[in-house]
Amino acid sequence: MEIKNSRRLTGTNLQGPGPSAIADVCFEADEDAAASLDLWLQALARMCSRFGLDHCESFQRTFEGGASIGFVAPIDQLYAATEMNEWAIEAANALRLGQPEPDLETAVEHITQSLEEELNPAVIALQRAADHKDCPFLWDDDEISLGYGRHSQVWPARSLPDPATIDWQRYRPIPVALVTGTNGKTTTSRMLTRIMKTAGFTVGSTSTDGVCIDERVVEEGDWTGTGAARLALRHTEVDAAVLETARGGLLRRGLAVERCDVAVVTNVAADHLGDYGIHDVEAMAQVKNLICAAVDQAGHRVINADDPRLTALLNQYDSPLILFGLDEANPVIQTHCSRGGEAWLLSDDHLVQRIGDDEHRLMAAADMPCAFGGAARHNISNALAASAAASSLGLPLDKVAEALSGFGAAPQDNPGRCQLLEVAGRRLLLDFGHNPHGLEAILGLAQSLLDQRPNSRLCVSLGQAGDRLDEEILDLAATLAAVQPDQVIIREMTGYERGRADLEVPHLIQAGLLSRGISAAQIKIVRDEVAALEAAMDCTQPGDLCMLLVHLEREQVAQWIEAQSP
């Protein structure tokens, strides 16, 4: 067994319901995986018994060529627990090969020294008291907090109060929404944030753009993990939270919170496969669905009924369920509503709430700026998800309609997502579409825009990060080739090579396009988004449609666009 990754899981995770030490391992070609895992368990038991952790539950999640293995441990012993787990793996390897195992006493002595620095009985006491009082509790290496938002307080991890002296009524929860999905999670999060703000909340939100308070960025960057959630939930102005939750954070650390009021899963598709033992879309669906573990009987799950991989998991949890979907004839929705359930759907080009046999028309889809007259069906789906989440939180439906009727009218509403501009007589569509599923959705909008101007040509610029599988990159090229664009400008995504050689990914995309009928004369490779835009201007004419996808260089592109203004 070769250790590929060893880490702490700080919350509920794919393997189990609590903080754990975990290692991702891969097996040798001729290795008996079951025998190796049995040797690991035996070694782990010997090590854990030396620290009074005999009772801790171990776990194994096997996948093709490897496994994720580890055990549940107290939060003030997780660093030491990772060392125990690593020793047990090394011991299992030695025993499998008939070699002496690494010295147990030496390892125990080293780990004991680590534990002396890590152990914090006051943290455990406060954690247990908060659990008993049903009080929100957040922790990290440096700080501990009780309550959320304006009901929260933070203490240094080494200077904690006696639980007996705490006024527990002071530290209360606030409405918390978790949003995940392969595509649409950022837009859905922004929509829900706008709805909650319109309803009078000061919202702490996290996304791939950063941490926002009341739609004001306070920390820039890709903030979709546990650290971002803590930052938003500890902000004393906040009285509601919308936390975008990406699969990377779920797999690296687990859930950021143990309880939420609503969990939204927009969809699941092929993207980021191969990381952390997630090799197929069915396994990725399990990862996305994990946020539903934080929903109890007082909350709701909001699930896309148009996604069969998600509907296959509807019975995984028993918390209340709201469905959403674009197809009102969907039998999953029809069955759910026949049993008195709630669904949000598109009916007669309107967003409709259906509960049992009762229906409420919220608004025409065309009245949402982000729907582009109804052509951007993926944004209609996102709006249905956000509306369902708002409904589950008890927000007035007139506030939902008010928020959605304005969302997308201003560029700052949804930066980098589905933005249509006019530049030098060309229509320029900026979007983050970065995988086949997302690309197919935005290309559907592009086709509607092209239909409005029959003589308009299509120029598409895109790139891809190097951490995707070759098959995923080729699928991206195939999805684009299917619409037969007139010009393609492929970008090297500098800083996102992720171990790939210079221009390796652009050349792979190029090969995929060439194999599907796009000629070499139609393809150009550049190194950044501004270069792509300049190339697009050179090969198009006024009236044409240019698409800049996997749009990340916002500041540079904004400056370039401003410079084109007369």
pLDDT in tens, 81-102: 999 999 999 999 999 999 999 9
**Number of other residues whose CB lies within 10 A of the CB of residue 129:** 18
Q: What is the pLDDT of residue 156?
A: 99
pLDDT at 223 over 80: no
Q: What is the pLDDT of residue 221?
A: 80
Question: Is 0.75 topped by the overall pTM?
Answer: yes
Question: Closest Cα partner for 268 from 284, 254, 252?
Answer: 284
pLDDT at 342 over 80: yes
Which H, E and C letters describe 341-379, residue by residue? CEEEEEECCEEEEEECCEEEEEEEHHHCHHHHHHCCHHH
Is residue 198 very low, low, confident or very high in pLDDT (cuts 50, 70, 90)?
Answer: very high
Q: What is the pLDDT of residue 332?
A: 98
Compute the average pLDDT of residues 103-127: 97
Burial 429-443, CB ≥16 within 10 A → b, else e: bbbbbbbbbbbbbbb
Burial 519-530, CB ≥16 within 10 A → b, else e: eeebbbbbebbb
Query: How far is Cα 453 from Cα 240, in angstroms, rounded to an integer?
Result: 44
- Please name the helix (run of DSSP H) or strand (run of DSSP E) that holds residue 2, with its range, or none: strand 2-9
Query: How far is Cα 365 from Cα 350, in angstroms, rounded to an integer?
Result: 5
Q: What is the pLDDT of residue 274?
A: 87
How is residue 209 written in tokens?
Answer: 């753009």
CB-based contacts of 419-423 (< 8 A; 24+ apart in sequence)? 420/372, 420/449, 421/561, 423/533, 423/537, 423/546, 423/561, 423/564
The superfamily (CATH) of domain 176-413 is: Mur-like, catalytic domain (3.40.1190.10)
> Parallel, antiparallel, or unpaired: how do β-strands 153-156 and 240-244 relate?
unpaired
What letter represents residue 390's amino acid?
Answer: A
What length is written for the chain? 566
Compute the average pLDDT of residues 13-31: 95
Is residue 266 very low, low, confident or very high in pLDDT (cuts 50, 70, 90)?
Answer: very high
Q: What is the pLDDT of residue 111?
A: 98
Q: What percent of the chain has pLDDT over 90?
A: 94
pLDDT at 444 over 80: yes
**CATH number among 3.40.50.410, 3.90.190.20, 3.50.50.60, 3.40.50.300, domain 419-564:** 3.90.190.20
**Number of other residues whose CB lies within 10 A of the CB of residue 287:** 21
Is residue 225 very low, low, confident or very high in pLDDT (cuts 50, 70, 90)?
Answer: confident
Compute the average pLDDT of residues 479-500: 96
pLDDT at 552 over 90: no
Query: Cα-flanking dihedrals φ and ψ of residue 244, to 5°?
Result: -70, 135
Question: Closest Cα partner for 108 from 49, 47, 43?
Answer: 47
